[in-house]
Chains A and B, each alone.
Chain A
Amino acid sequence: MNMTKSHESIRDNTAAWALIFIAWLVASVSTLGVLFFGEVMHLPTCVLCWYQRIFMFPLALILPIALFPFDRNVLRYALPLASIGFLIAVFHMLLMAGLIPENIKPCTQGVPCSETVIEWFGFVTIPMLSVLAFSVILLLLIMAYFRSSN
Chain B
Amino acid sequence: MNKKILFITGLTGLLLVFITGTLFYTAQKEKQVEQVTKANLASLVRMHSPTLGKAGAPVVIVEFFDPACETCRRFYPLVKQMMAEHPDKIRLVLRYTPFHSGSDQIVAMLEAARKQNKFWPSLEALLTSQADWVQRHTANPSLAWKHLEGLDLDLDQLKADMAAPEILQVIAQDIEDAQALNVTKTPEFFVNGNPLPSFGYEQLKRLVDEALSSTQR
B18 near A68 with CB under 8 A, answer no
Within 8 A of B (CB), among A20-67: 21, 24-25, 28-29, 32, 35-36, 40-41, 64, 67
B21 near A36 with CB under 8 A, answer yes
Q: Which of A17, A29, A40 touches B3 (beta carbons < 8 Å)?
A: A17
Known: A40-B25, A40-B26, A41-B25. A32 touches B7 (CB 8 A): no
Within 8 A of A (CB), among B1-48: 3-4, 6-7, 10-11, 14-15, 17-18, 21-22, 25-26
B14 near A68 with CB under 8 A, answer no
Q: Which of A28, A40, A67 touches B14 (beta carbons < 8 Å)?
A: A28
Residues of B within 8 A of A29 (CB): 14
Q: Which of B7, B17, B18, B21 touches A64 (beta carbons < 8 Å)?
A: B7
Residues of A within 8 A of B17 (CB): 32
Known: A28-B14, A29-B14. A36 touches B22 (CB 8 A): yes
- A51 to B73 alpha-carbon distance, docked (Å): 37
B10 near A32 with CB under 8 A, answer no
A68 near B3 with CB under 8 A, answer yes
Residues of B within 8 A of A36 (CB): 18, 21-22, 25
- A9 to B101 alpha-carbon distance, docked (Å): 68
A40 near B7 with CB under 8 A, answer no
B14 near A32 with CB under 8 A, answer yes
Nearest CB of B to A19, in Å: 13
Nearest CB of B to A59, in Å: 14
A68 near B21 with CB under 8 A, answer no
Residues of B within 8 A of A32 (CB): 14-15, 17-18
Which of A17, A40, A64 counts the most chain B CB atoms within 10 A?
Answer: A40
Residues of B within 8 A of A25 (CB): 10, 14
Nearest CB of A to B13, in Å: 9
- A126 to B1 alpha-carbon distance, docked (Å): 37
Residues of A within 8 A of B4 (CB): 68
B21 near A67 with CB under 8 A, answer no
Closest Cβ neighbor of A42 among chain B residues? B29
- A21 to B7 alpha-carbon distance, docked (Å): 8
Closest Cβ neighbor of B18 among chain A residues? A32
Nearest CB of B to A129, in Å: 16
Give 27 A-B contacts (CB < 8 Å), ordered by A residue. A17-B3, A21-B3, A21-B6, A21-B7, A21-B10, A25-B14, A28-B10, A28-B14, A29-B14, A32-B14, A32-B15, A32-B17, A35-B18, A36-B18, A36-B21, A36-B22, A36-B25, A40-B21, A40-B25, A41-B25, A64-B7, A64-B11, A67-B3, A67-B7, A68-B3, A68-B4, A68-B7
9 closest residue pairs by CB, A with B: A32-B18, A40-B22, A28-B14, A40-B25, A25-B10, A32-B14, A67-B7, A36-B21, A64-B7
